[in-house]
């Protein structure tokens, strides 16, 4: 569940709740996330923009309350628009470091690149690669696809 409010000067604020279930070897871990977000977007040159998003997450774990924490996420993203005949492609590149207050460290960084292919005014198909680096672990490589809905 997410509520977003657009502010003047290309700013926005949002609050939302997310429930996540993760299968572990010996249990299913349930997590409740309470998130507040703020962001800013600025056009750079024709059809290109930089946006910055900051999120504060309160993370509550049902089975392991000792794991509860607060983390900050900051995403920096560059986007542009490319036309090839009638085909429109919106490529992007981004990085998103995660700061965890419990460990007082950067615990994760995500690096993204990919593109959105608009299907109509409100729907786009997104295809991207994510490399996730976690502290003291091997990198995770993700090929991601989905639909972006704008209403």
What secondary structure does DSSP assign to 48-80, as a single string? EEEEEEEEEEEEEESS-GGG-EEEEEEEEEEEE
pLDDT single digits (tens) 88-143: 999 999 999 999 888 889 999 999 999 999 999 999 999 999 999 998 899 999 99
Rounded to two decimals, the pTM is 0.84
CA-derived radius of gyration, the chain: 17
Pick from 117, 115, 123: nearest CA to 148: 123
How many other β-carbons are positioned within 10 Å of the β-carbon of residue 72?
Answer: 14
Pick from 133, 98, 95, 128: nearest CA to 113: 128
Answer whether residue 151 shows pLDDT above 80.
no
Classify the phi-psi angles of 47: left when phi > 0, otherwise alpha if psi is within -120 to 50, otherwise beta. left
What is the number of H-type helices and E-type strands within the chain?
0, 10
Encoding tokens for residue 96?
A: 């998103």
Percent of the chain with pLDDT over 90: 75
Angle ∠(130,134,140) on CA atoms, nearest 5: 40
């Amino acid at each position: 569940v997410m509520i977003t409010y657009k502010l003047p000067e290309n700013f926005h604020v949002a609050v939302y709740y997310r429930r996540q279930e993760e299968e572990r070897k010996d249990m299913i871990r349930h997590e409740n996330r309470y998130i507040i977000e703020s962001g800013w977007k600025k056009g750079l040159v024709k059809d290109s923009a930089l946006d910055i998003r900051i999120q504060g997450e309160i993370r509550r774990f049902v089975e392991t309350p000792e794991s509860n924490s607060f983390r900050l996420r900051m995403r920096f993203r560059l986007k542009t628009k490319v036309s090839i005949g009638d085909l429109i492609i919106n490529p992007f590149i981004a990085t998103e470091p995660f700061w965890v207050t419990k460990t007082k460290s950067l615990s994760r960084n995500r690096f993204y690149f990919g593109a959105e292919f608009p299907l109509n005014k409100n729907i786009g198909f997104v295809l991207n690669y994510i490399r996730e680096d976690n502290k003291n672990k091997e990198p995770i490589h993700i090929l991601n696809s989905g639909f972006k809905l704008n209403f």
